[in-house]
Structure 1
């Protein structure tokens, strides 16, 4: 009889040891990822470590020594499993966060540019070899590196084409549609420039790509880091890139904002610049970017984020410390992953004819938008009498809607999917250490951030655009609004409120 009583005890102890090992392993996994992420202040990290170590000790004692009955042992095992699973899940979420931060702060040394040989859909040319002996239109002063790259690649395959140079995009397109040339070479990032021209709005539908190649250019975007990101004010350029070939490809800057952050006063000023703002370009690339030429600011992104940064610095007379690039088309994935966002539409701005989101209708008051709807809402300008001004306001609403949802408790229920959707969406020149320092600062000091908004303004007009080589719709700056925006930024940098600037 005594042997029969000892046997269950031995089994219970074996289970106790096994579950104790699992508990310790899960806790170590959680704490390892927490230390690796390095976002908790030292005191809080110490407290969390002590709490988990004590929990482990308590349950190890209960599992191996204190509980003897089957019921009490079972209950203890259930609680142990729950804590172990919670630790594993927490460690996994923290690991996903660390991967996201690593991806965001690992800025590629090169950016991709994709160039295509395009023919009409009615053309008999369907594959690369069919191009031999035919005529091709090329731009004389814009994107010359890409054109040469395509023609060189074709020549290596024994395919020679008869080149006809054109001074502007519109001249080349007119020649193409008139039959003067059989094909044209375009930079893929120029597609939306083409379809923005009313006469060529159906360009994507009535043409096709016969040959395409990509090449890399050096990414010269570097941080101008501040000495201490938790005490020193800094400026961040937020650039929403409009690309079709992937996040690493240069494309138009469809969203342009400067976030001025003063951690001492807890103030963030968002200064928006309409994409059609007519500015003097400050180039950072030799591939057809014309230094000092006048163009829409959106076109600067085609030559890389650093060209946009330098142009904004010149426009506002400020120094930008960091850049934050957003793949704006991937906003759909983020918004869907967080379960949609809410935007508040003011009376008089109801709309039911969105060009980029057919079927979308917004009413006065709070509207809940999914990913496609949020992107369409952020890109729309034709439905509003204010055009690009209202689009800029909508973009601010969408970005703030994402921030509000991501910082709410609801994020926990779909955290892994959100991290995955954001993995290839953001890129910043801010270092991992600087981001974790800001998170530590937030957890330690818990500042109540005040968000202020500003926007430069101007007058609609038709002017020559360097990137197109032709006239197009632009917003000619109202210099008083540019000066005011610059003064607001300087005020926040100096510890004052932007609202105090007249």
Structure 2
């Protein structure tokens, strides 16, 4: 055989080295292949440089493979730590949420413990899922969703607590709106225009509040206005009409009282300025009763105004709620707004209309109610028309049973549809929204029993609200309900007391026995302490009717099962047993009973009086209470 030359040997060796290097590059590019295939070796041909090249290539490959492995492991670990951190955040948010719930204190202990355990377990499960190669994504998704839920839930609970504290914040001052009125055709548009006018004021009634307003006026004008004093509002009004004074300063809460004996007054004058006067409310210390265990009485006052509940006004709804939480019973007692009663602290032994007590402050209304029934009223809740509408809507409407079919006497304006229509109610159960519930509670002219039927309807709406409050609807509507009352409800019940009542109901879900009662009276005309110029239409309460209610109150306080008070002779006279079908369905006011103000302002508001009210007085014959000074309904 022919021996290869040295050159051929060298060329063959170089070719094999080139192929080996190529193979190594491919193996380094694909580590998986490198682990499966054996390392090719370069034949030793007698040169040390080739042995050193082989060692360097292997070392480089091993170092590269180690770097790739470590990077993959680091990425895997970093993914798992992200999920674990999410689970820890979820646990922290769970603690914050449960802390907020604990402070709100409306959730019964058993539910609080169950929810706490569930939230903690969810956080631990999500943390544990991060140790699995395939389950860590499930844990991450659950953690993200739970974090969002807990954040929103915490905001909801904190907002609820804030709103509850705001609603139950006891007002230390009451506000009276003192106004300046001129004749409607007067050129003055502000008090600055009228600074040289002669201003008429009362010599006694509301004098301290008027004096405070005059101080504000003088301060704004940087000069003193001229005033003339009068002994009665009729004299003051006539002086304005005849030009003896150019303007009058008075408490706007007395609008209806002045209008009653000076018909057309509110149409003939124009308000050019007003001043809020604050006076300290001197309420007795509010008893901190355990109202989930002991009986208590709450005075419910309905003010005949819309909007914010800031200033004093007549109390057109006067209901006493006697509650026994141990026996789960409530007695609702309605007293006519025109009840002729003594107002302790105001009338000095004389009598006045119960509705007028509200003009001086809620504590005087409470004192008058205590005087009637010889009871102690610990708490009050004061609301207005807007409050009722928003409360009902926040709870998703209420179910109210009507004793007969009827429609409202006056037309109602619907802003959404820009139309006028009558609210109609079926005999039996009616599901009512806020505005329908308000119209149901205010209607008296087209009611079989007049003002007494209206009192019954008001109690039906309150009972329907109580039914909603003790149902699961309170869970979803609690914050909305409180928000609807912010600025539109005044109460001396504490936040803790209200929360304890909610907690009690959620804990036992008990059924309540709600009983309604009315106090009846005889229509008359008497002189009233707030307006001694002429007799006013009043209701002289029937002693037997009051005693019948007192008997039931005593039973409730003693823990006995109660029912409606015994019927009195006067009650039987007023009650209408059966209303003919349709009799009160189409009995509406005719178009000529409406005036321009009615159409322009969407109906009659309580702080306005229109000619239609007086022209409609003939139709009010069905109202045996002679409540001609009441609002439209």
Check whether TM > 0.5: yes
SS in 2 for 1:237: strand
* Alignment match of 1:199 (pick from 263, 280, 286): 263
| Cα deviation 1:122-162 (Å, max 9, x = unaligned) | 10121212323423332333211122223333334314223
Q: CA deviation at 1:4?
A: 6.4
CA 1:212–1:323 in 2, change beyond 3 Å: closer, same or farther?
same
| Residue segments in structure 2 that go unaligned for 5+ positions in a row | 1-67, 414-419, 567-633
Q: Distance in 1 between matches of 2:196 and 2:421?
A: 46
* Alignment match of 1:350 (pick from 406, 418, 428): 406
Residue 321 (1) aligns with residue 378 (2) = yes
Which residue number in structure 2 is paired with residue 220 of structure 1?
Answer: 282
Residue 188 (1) aligns with residue 255 (2) = no
SS in 2 for 1:128: coil
Which residue number in structure 2 is paired with residue 137 of structure 1?
Answer: 200
Which residue number in structure 1 is paired with residue 604 of structure 2?
Answer: none
Which residue number in structure 2 is paired with residue 381 of structure 1?
Answer: 444
Report if the CA contact (8 A) 1:345-1:362 is conserved. Answer: no
Q: Distance in 2 between matches of 1:183 and 1:345?
A: 48
Which residue number in structure 2 is paired with residue 370 of structure 1?
Answer: 433
Bigger relative CO (Cα 8 Å, ≥ 6 apart): 1
Residue 115 (1) aligns with residue 178 (2) = yes
| Cα deviation 1:465-495 (Å, max 9, x = unaligned) | 2223332222221111111112211110011
Which residue number in structure 2 is paired with residue 58 of structure 1?
Answer: 125
* Alignment match of 1:429 (pick from 476, 492, 500): 492
Q: Distance in 1 between matches of 2:79 and 2:299?
A: 61
Superposition RMSD on alpha carbons, in Å? 2.8
Report if the CA contact (8 A) 2:302-2:316 is conserved. Answer: yes
Residue 237 (1) aligns with residue 299 (2) = yes
* Alignment match of 1:496 (pick from 533, 536, 560): 560
Which residue number in structure 2 is paired with residue 472 of structure 1?
Answer: 536
CA 1:359–1:182 in 2, change beyond 3 Å: closer, same or farther?
farther
After TM superposition, the structure 1 = structure 2 runs for residues 90-101 of structure 1, keeping only pairs within 5 Å, are: 90-101=153-164
After TM superposition, the structure 1 = structure 2 runs for residues 6-17 of structure 1, keeping only pairs within 5 Å, are: 6=73, 8-17=75-84
Q: Distance in 2 between matches of 1:336 and 1:170?
A: 43
Q: CA deviation at 1:355?
A: 6.8
Which residue number in structure 1 is paired with residue 223 of structure 2?
Answer: 158
CA 1:413–1:251 in 2, change beyond 3 Å: closer, same or farther?
same
Q: CA deviation at 1:270?
A: 1.0
Q: Distance in 2 between matches of 1:324 and 1:131?
A: 40
Which residue number in structure 1 is paired with residue 105 of structure 2?
Answer: 38
Which residue number in structure 2 is paired with residue 360 of structure 1?
Answer: 422
Q: Distance in 2 between matches of 1:372 and 1:443?
A: 28
Report if the CA contact (8 A) 2:203-2:231 is conserved. Answer: yes
Q: CA deviation at 1:196?
A: 5.7
Q: CA deviation at 1:412?
A: 5.7
Q: Distance in 1 between matches of 2:457 and 2:240?
A: 37
Report if the CA contact (8 A) 1:238-1:255 is conserved. Answer: yes
Report if the CA contact (8 A) 2:406-2:446 is conserved. Answer: no
SS in 1 for 2:177: strand
SS in 1 for 2:90: helix
SS in 1 for 2:291: coil
Which residue number in structure 1 is paired with residue 369 of structure 2?
Answer: 312
Q: Distance in 1 between matches of 2:298 and 2:494?
A: 13
SS in 2 for 1:292: coil
| Cα deviation 1:11-30 (Å, max 9, x = unaligned) | 43143034213312321221
Report if the CA contact (8 A) 2:176-2:276 is conserved. Answer: yes
CA 1:364–1:11 in 2, change beyond 3 Å: closer, same or farther?
same
CA 1:449–1:464 in 2, change beyond 3 Å: closer, same or farther?
same
Report if the CA contact (8 A) 1:26-1:85 is conserved. Answer: no
CA 1:198–1:461 in 2, change beyond 3 Å: closer, same or farther?
farther
Q: CA deviation at 1:332?
A: 2.4
| Cα deviation 1:406-425 (Å, max 9, x = unaligned) | 55445666665443222223
Q: CA deviation at 1:404?
A: 3.5
* 120-129 or 420-429, which deviates more: 420-429
SS in 1 for 2:119: helix
Q: CA deviation at 1:170?
A: 3.9
Q: CA deviation at 1:275?
A: 1.3
CA 1:438–1:328 in 2, change beyond 3 Å: closer, same or farther?
same
SS in 1 for 2:193: helix
Report if the CA contact (8 A) 2:411-2:422 is conserved. Answer: no
Report if the CA contact (8 A) 1:223-1:322 is conserved. Answer: no
Q: CA deviation at 1:395?
A: 1.9
| Cα deviation 1:182-216 (Å, max 9, x = unaligned) | 2222212223444566823x71x543222321221
Report if the CA contact (8 A) 1:322-1:430 is conserved. Answer: yes
SS in 2 for 1:258: strand
CA 1:395–1:196 in 2, change beyond 3 Å: closer, same or farther?
farther
Q: CA deviation at 1:296?
A: 1.2
TM-score (norm 2): 0.71
Residue 208 (1) aligns with residue 298 (2) = no
CA 1:500–1:333 in 2, change beyond 3 Å: closer, same or farther?
closer
Q: Distance in 2 between matches of 1:500 and 1:343?
A: 19
Larger radius of gyration: 2
| Residue segments in structure 1 that go unaligned for 5+ positions in a row | 284-288
Between the two proteins, the alignment pairs up a number of residues equal to 489
CA 1:136–1:290 in 2, change beyond 3 Å: closer, same or farther?
farther
